[in-house]
């Protein structure tokens, strides 16, 4: 039996088994198996190095444009960057990853136009697996939905199956392997899952001896995510496009399917300013001002970085010599305990900070 068939069989068994305290254990094992089979599919597709899409990350952040064929992904890329990605009125116009750069408020944002995703992509339909691996590496996912033909479930399901948890967060728990003693479950809150079910799922993942610490209510899916450890949690924005084409009824339908979406029509320019703003906000950029050693601060042109950036990353963004010759940094602003605090490479900067890197001569 092929992997795809086994996946289909397990999906079928899960959906036909009623979930309750008695079946929890069994369903848990099935879900763990399913997750592992899906990972095998992805692993098989990676093949020899050089196959797949070799996209180099560039700029201050990377945004993946995701959607069904023909929703208008390439049209959007062309309208917010200088890229010229082919567009056409038929599906699968784009077969490669086409990068473009969106320059906005001192940030250089790499936008990736991707081939359309279709149902079954996570199992390898189209070039689904390769496209999904590019999406996994993105800092933000732009989910494009055609307002004149709204359908969003297909894509969201494919992303979910590929281990992408849009706007999600890591489950609050940990697995510490031990050398003996079997599996011990330590939970800080009362769990709806039976201990035996939790252990059964863990065993599916080859856990024999371990302390499993759960710091929130877990369900089977969260538990599998915790054990798999390979999930990614990118932020996302939903975008309704072609709103110039959509009838009143279609638009109403689209809005119901995708509440809070940004509405655009790239050929008329409608909504593009709002979209650029939203991308910038969602990427959580901050500004850091640099004060070159022994000179006055540059308050004109800040360095734009993502929230959570460390002094190491700032050094890298400036010039490779900074890291090699680094002695310490001085920081003024919200991340400093007092003005001019001396910090090391691991220090995390805050919006509006003034930073001076002190190097060996
Ligand atoms: N009226 C209108 N037409 C649009 C809009 N966006 C895209 N189109 C048209 O829709 C068709 C498909 O657009 P593409 O940008 O090629 O779509 P895609 O998502 O890149 O398609 P694939 O690469 O095949 O997955 C083209 O004929 C575009 O001109 C829009 O906002 N309004
Ligand atoms: Mg395209």
- Over residues 44-88, the pLDDT tens digits come to 655 444 345 667 777 789 999 999 999 999 999 999 999 888 888
Q: Is the CB of 265 under 6 A from ligand 1?
A: yes
- pLDDT at res. 234: 94
pTM: 0.83
The CATH number assigned to the domain holding 345 equals 3.10.20.30
Specify whether 176 is located in the same domain as 316.
Answer: no
Give, as residue ranges, everything with CB less than 5 Å from ion ligand 2: 73-74, 93-94
| Separation of alpha carbons 87 and 165, rounded Å | 29
204 vs 200: CA distance, rounded Å: 6
Is residue 92 in a domain?
yes
Residues 221 and 314 in one domain: no
Query: How does pLDDT run across 266-302, given as a tens digit for each residue?
Result: 999 999 999 999 999 999 999 999 999 888 888 888 8
Residues 152 and 294 in one domain: no
C-alpha to C-alpha distance for 67 and 238, rounded to whole angstroms: 10
Residue 37 lies in a domain: yes
- Domain assignment present for 110: yes
Model confidence at 336: pLDDT above 90: yes
Based on the fold, state whether residues 181 and 68 are members of the same structural domain.
no
Q: What is the pLDDT of residue 53?
A: 63
What confidence score (pLDDT) does residue 47 get? 45
* The predicted structure's pLDDT at residue 241: 97
Rounded to an integer, the average pLDDT of 293-312 is: 89
Atom of ligand 1 nearest to the CA of 87: 16
Distance 89 CA to ligand 2 centre (A): 10
Examine the domain organization and report whether 324 and 336 are in the same domain.
yes
In a domain, 246, yes or no: yes
pLDDT score, position 54: 64
Residue 51 lies in a domain: no
CB of 272 within 6 A of ligand 1: the answer is: no
Q: What is the pLDDT of residue 238?
A: 96
- Give yes or no for a contact between 175 and 210, defined as CB atoms under 8 angstroms apart: yes
Report the pLDDT averaged over residues 18-27: 89
Percent above pLDDT 90 for the chain: 61
Residue 344 has a CB neighbour count (10 Å cut-off) of 12
When pLDDT is cut at 50, 70 and 90, the band that residue 345 belongs to is: very high
Partners of 356 in the beta sheet?
Answer: 330
Say what the pLDDT of residue 230 is.
85
Please give the pLDDT value at position 102: 95
- How many structural domains compose the chain? 3
- Using CA atoms, how far apart are residues 194 and 214, in angstroms rounded to an integer? 13
CA distances from 185 to 16, 73, 214, 225 (A): 29, 46, 8, 17
Verify that 222 and 310 share a domain, yes or no.
no
Alpha-carbon torsion 214, 215, 218, 224, what sign?
Answer: negative
Q: What is the pLDDT of residue 226?
A: 94
Token pair recorded at residue 31: 């879900």
Ligand 1 atom at shortest distance from the alpha carbon of 75: 15
pLDDT of residue 10: 92
The Å distance, Cα 82 to ligand 2 centre, comes to 15
Q: Return the CATH number at 67.
A: 3.40.50.300
CA distances from 82 to 74, 266, 276, 323 (A): 12, 14, 14, 33
From 195, 210, 228, give the residue that closes a domain: 228
Determine which of 71-75, 116-120, 181-185 has the lowest per-residue pLDDT on average. Answer: 116-120
**Pick from 72-86, 111-125, 159-173, 176-190: least confident:** 111-125
Ligand 2 centre distance from Cα of residue 212 (Å)? 45
Which residue, by CA, sits nearest to atom 7 of ligand 1? 72
Last residue of a domain, one of 282, 297, 318: 282
Is the domain of 240 the same as that of 146?
Answer: yes
- Tell me which of 206, 228, 250 is where a domain ends: 228
Instruction: State residue 141 phi and psi, 5-degree precision.
Output: -110, 125
One domain, residues 208 and 257: no
Q: Which residues contact 60 (CB under 8 A, 6 or more apart)?
A: 107, 108, 109, 285, 304, 305, 306
Residue 108 lies in a domain: yes
CA distances from 317 to 101, 303, 337, 344 (A): 17, 9, 24, 16
End-to-end CA distance of the chain: 65
Q: Which of 17-26, 89-98, 99-108 has the lowest mean pLDDT?
A: 89-98
pLDDT at 51: 40
Query: 119 and 256 share a domain?
Result: yes
Q: Is the same domain home to 221 and 264?
A: no
Q: What percent of the chain has pLDDT over 70?
A: 95
Q: Are residues 185 and 159 in the same domain?
A: no
- Beginning with the edge strand found earlier in the chain, give each strand of the sheet holding 341-343 in spatial order: 298-306, 285-290, 354-359, 326-332, 341-343
Residue 107 · residue 250 · CB < 8 Å: no
The answer on 129 and 83 residing in a single domain is: yes
Mean pLDDT of 106-134: 82
Q: How far is the CA of 14 from the centre of ligand 1 (A)?
A: 38
pLDDT, residue 48, reads 43
Domain range for 307? 285-359
pLDDT digits (tens, 9 = 90+) for 220-245: 999 999 998 889 999 999 999 999 99
Does residue 52 lie in a domain region? no
Which residues, including other chains, have CB under 8 Å from residue 12's CB and lie 6 or more apart?
none
* Ligand 1 in reach of 68 Cβ (< 6 A): no
| pLDDT for position 39 | 81
Residue 54 lies in a domain: no
């Amino acid at each position: 039996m092929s992997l795809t068939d086994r996946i289909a069989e397990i999906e079928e068994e899960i959906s036909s088994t009623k979930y309750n305290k008695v079946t929890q254990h069994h369903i848990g094992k099935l879900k763990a198996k399913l997750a592992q089979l899906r990972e095998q599919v992805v692993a098989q597709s990676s093949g020899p190095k050089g196959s797949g899409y070799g996209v180099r990350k560039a700029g201050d952040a990377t945004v993946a444009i995701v959607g069904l064929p023909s929703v208008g992904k390439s049209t959007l890329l062309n309208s917010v960057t200088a890229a010229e990605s082919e567009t056409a009125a038929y599906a699968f116009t784009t077969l490669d990853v086409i990068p473009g750069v969106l320059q906005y408020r001192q940030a250089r944002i790499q936008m990736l136009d991707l081939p359309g995703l279709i149902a079954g992509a996570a199992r390898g339909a189209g070039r689904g697996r390769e496209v999904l691996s590019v999406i996994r590496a993105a800092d933000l996912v732009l989910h494009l939905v055609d307002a004149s033909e709204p359908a969003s479930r297909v894509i969201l399901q494919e992303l979910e199956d590929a281990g992408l948890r849009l706007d999600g967060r890591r489950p609050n728990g940990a697995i510490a392997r031990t050398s003996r003693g079997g599996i011990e479950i330590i939970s800080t809150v009362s769990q709806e899952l039976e201990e035996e079910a939790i252990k059964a799922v863990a065993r599916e993942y080859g856990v024999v001896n371990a302390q499993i610490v759960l710091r929130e209510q877990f369900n089977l899916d969260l538990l599998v995510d915790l054990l798999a450890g390979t999930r990614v949690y990118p932020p996302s924005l939903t975008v309704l496009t072609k709103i110039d084409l959509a009838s009143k009824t279609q638009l109403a339908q689209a809005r119901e399917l995708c509440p809070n979406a940004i509405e655009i029509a790239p050929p008329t320019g409608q909504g593009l300013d709002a979209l650029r703003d939203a991308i910038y906000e969602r990427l959580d950029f901050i500004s850091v001002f640099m004060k070159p050693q022994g000179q006055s601060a540059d308050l004109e042109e800040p360095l734009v970085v993502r929230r959570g950036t460390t002094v190491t990353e700032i050094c890298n963004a400036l010039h490779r010599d900074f890291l090699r010759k680094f002695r310490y940094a001085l920081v003024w602003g919200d991340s400093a305990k007092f003005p001019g605090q001396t910090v090391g490479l691991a220090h995390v900067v805050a919006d509006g900070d003034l930073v001076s890197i002190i190097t060996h001569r």
